[in-house]
Structure 1
């Protein structure tokens, strides 16, 4: 099956400034793909290339089997797009604006059904479409932007920071819309700073830093499966000797040992195999043991640090790296 999005060696240069460095990206049909990265990482540049708002300096891009620069209106009708900086102005009401988009985006003869879908989405998101769009708040303009992207049920949704300005309840409804789109067979490419959105919805994730993908894989792999946080309460032990014993465990970091009523309480982070830790633990009387995986936010912050320190490789399924100036987003 052909991937919905295929990007090969995508390079974008603004004069002497390199925004994207030989980027490779694949998004499978019917999946939610999350794109994570700090400001200036290259997320928006990548998404704008997919919809032919900007054109690459080199490399190849195929979206729904076509090159964006050659696909024209017929390709764009198959895509729902929310830009990172949404500007909606004018005296037209939300209804009139969406009616115009329905004529542009909807299939022949289906504008009425697209408008019904728009009204349903407006009810779900809680936006008054009778008001002129210029009078709407930032959050309500963002809702209109989401409606125009979703209302014609496109094969592909490309969403750049889509929940910007939305309150938490509306963000939750948006995540439901994304899940529904996936269940309907649509493909979603979602760029976000809100890591919980990615963690809750994405099937796969790519981490961008300075115009390069520094790690990619499924969400579980980007939780740094080889890293764990541990907390343990030991009986019949003293803090000094216990600390000395566990400091010899390979991959242990941030070790803290504190005395409690029955012995010693330890906390630490273990990267790599947990077997040496368990074997050391077997020498003690264990009263309580907690082992946790890090959440996605902690994992991504570690990956950003790895991108700035090329000598250390992130523990993910696949890695790509290289240093260079940070590109524009």
Structure 2
């Protein structure tokens, strides 16, 4: 039974997209961003012969999902890993290829809802933002130690913040007085650094800064740039990948990687296509598909989602 307090985004769309790839007994489905286990539970319920390999970089999420998925017994294997570590995980488990994989990117609902994680700007919390709190730098480390030029770049690129220089100047000025530790101080600083006219629209002005810090702390874009090609390489012929992304930077990477694998690279002017340069995948979606109004009404988190999917149609040359 799906937890009524947690509605997986585009659940039916994901399930029907992956269904043709997971029908055979013993098929292996990878949920590379296990989270609360909602998508995984639905897939295991819908396909009784399916095996699950669930990955998550967050040990807390992995523990909670593990309890949820206990009824499925030895059909479930859970591993504490970042999703770009998939090749080494498959090698360690002796799994040469997979039949389907899901990436539900971004921060999970529990991470946002638990103040001690420091992801949200709506209440005061330690500036942590690590999805895996066992390793890595925190958001406070970034704010207190990064050079001004690097801070500006992060805010501009990862937060798409047009007032990045103004915010950075305020951060540098304030951290010289006292290091940053809590989210409320940062939220108020961002609000004060942005012109009043720009604060009147677009919601909380700290949203973009918090997004940028989260992406930097977790190396999200670099990890995603490695993870999607590795996942495509691991899929068997007929295997399918489904990607749910929630901001344009992730979706841009998805679009580029999938375009590379679904394009005929035969040089223009040749009379026939070259077999070794034919696409190895075909797209199953038209662009980044959005949620319907009904889906958004039932699950507000779906408002920003972009869904892309593809199927492997032949082996690499």
* TM-score in terms of structure 2 length: 0.29
* TM-score in terms of structure 1 length: 0.29
More strand by share: 1
Q: Which has the larger radius of gyration?
A: 1
